[in-house]
Chains A and B, each alone.
Chain A
Amino acid sequence: MQTDWKAWFDTHGSRLMLFARQQTRREADAEDVLQETLARLCEAGRNGPPDLPLVYTALRRTAIDHARRRERRRVREERVAADEPIAFFDEGVEARERAHLVEEALRRLPEPQQEVLILKIWGELTFAQIGETVGISPHTAASRYRYALQALKQQLSPSPL
């Protein structure tokens, strides 16, 4: 891998993979979507790695295209049926339980809230960039983010006895 791409992927690979996982829900699909996205961007951009917001936008579009390929998806699902369940986070033993709880709570959020939360917290995008990526206004992105954060916090708070 070229040095600039390697360094770029070392820095951003995990967060891109997280978004791909959220968009596809399966590890094999997430890998395919990320690879296809980077292939297209690599083909188009001859001057090194692209800007991160552009990658998120392309990743989201590729995931939508990917989801439309029903037949291929069905075959792939059969192939990866034995794969381990997808895990959002990579944590040590001590934090694994907490990460698992966060992941479960995150999965229970409505999908539009999930993607905004992921793009903001782990994608480190601004609300304007999130708006461009998802196709909503920055204001909507901000309010959606706040709802998501509150809902997540509420789910993770211990219920009163």
Chain B
Amino acid sequence: MTDEELNAFEEELRALRPGPPSARLRARLETLVDERAGDRPRPAAPADTLAWKQRLRRHGHWLAIAAGLALALAVYLWRPFEPLPEDTASANGAPGLAAPSSGEAALAVDAEPRFRAVKARNTLKHRIDEGLVTLDGGLSARRYRFQFVDTIVWEDPNDGSRFEVSTPREELVLVPVHTF
């Protein structure tokens, strides 16, 4: 094979364009570089601050779970007051004011909504693998982004009417990766 043939073949190969990196990788790298750039101008933080941040990054998902449980407990413990019996309401009525007729009182009690939380659920919508990240201490970790929708169902026991409240929520989980 002559040099001319090889040169022509080289040119033919050069004309082939390597496939570009995926949008997924580009997004991961953009996040990475932006994080690094964000770190750059900051003054050096005290060691204990950095340690706290690192701990927060490592254990952030546990904090999120704990916060979720606390919210669920608060919702469970919160109870609307039971409506007073009709007789008691009449007896405690202000003197000099005419009590409404029993039919009107019943209507007023029934019309007042008494919603209570009857169901709560967390639905995992997406788990996104954001790839490898380097933590402040130089450790490598794989970062996962979990996207949930938390839903609480409220019900009025008087008439069985219900409504739902759904809130999107994200959790970042760092799984340490051992490199060698």
Which A residues form the contact surface with B (CB < 8 A)?
Answer: 1-2, 5-6, 9, 13-18, 21, 27, 31-32, 34-36, 38-40, 42-43, 46, 65, 68-69, 72, 87-91, 95, 98-99, 102, 121-122, 146, 149-150, 152-153
Determine how close the nearest CB of chain B comes to the CB of A12; give it in whole angstroms.
Answer: 10
Query: Hey, which chain A residues are within 8 Å of B18, CB to CB?
Result: 14-15, 17-18, 88-90, 122
In chain B, positions 6-46 with a C-beta closer than 8 Å to chain A are 6, 9-10, 13-14, 16-22, 24-26, 28-30, 32-34, 36-37, 40
Interface majority SS (helix, strand, loop, mixed), chain A: helix
B157 adjacent to chain A (CB < 8 Å): no
Q: 6 closest A-B pairs (Cβ-Cβ)?
A: A18-B18, A90-B19, A1-B30, A14-B18, A31-B25, A17-B21
Residue from A14, A36, A152 within 8 A of B140 (CB atoms): A36
Query: Hey, which chain A residues are within 8 Å of B24, CB to CB?
Result: 31
Is B10 a contact partner of A34 (Cβ separation < 8 A)? no
20 contacts between A and B (CB under 8 A): A1-B29, A2-B37, A13-B26, A14-B20, A14-B21, A27-B22, A31-B21, A34-B21, A35-B32, A36-B132, A39-B32, A69-B180, A87-B19, A89-B18, A89-B19, A90-B20, A102-B13, A121-B13, A121-B14, A153-B5
Which B residues form the contact surface with A (CB < 8 A)?
Answer: 1, 5-6, 9-10, 13-14, 16-22, 24-26, 28-30, 32-34, 36-37, 40, 131-134, 138, 140, 177, 179-180
Query: Hey, which chain B residues are within 8 Å of A46, CB to CB?
Result: 40
Work out how many contacts link A and B, with CB atoms closer than 8 A: 106
Query: Hey, which chain A residues are within 8 Å of B26, CB to CB?
Result: 9, 13
Is A91 a contact partner of B16 (Cβ separation < 8 A)? yes
Task: A46 to B180: give the CA distance in the assembly, Å.
Answer: 24
Determine how close the nearest CB of chain B comes to the CB of A8; give it in whole angstroms.
Answer: 10
Which chain B residue lies CB-closest to A8? B33
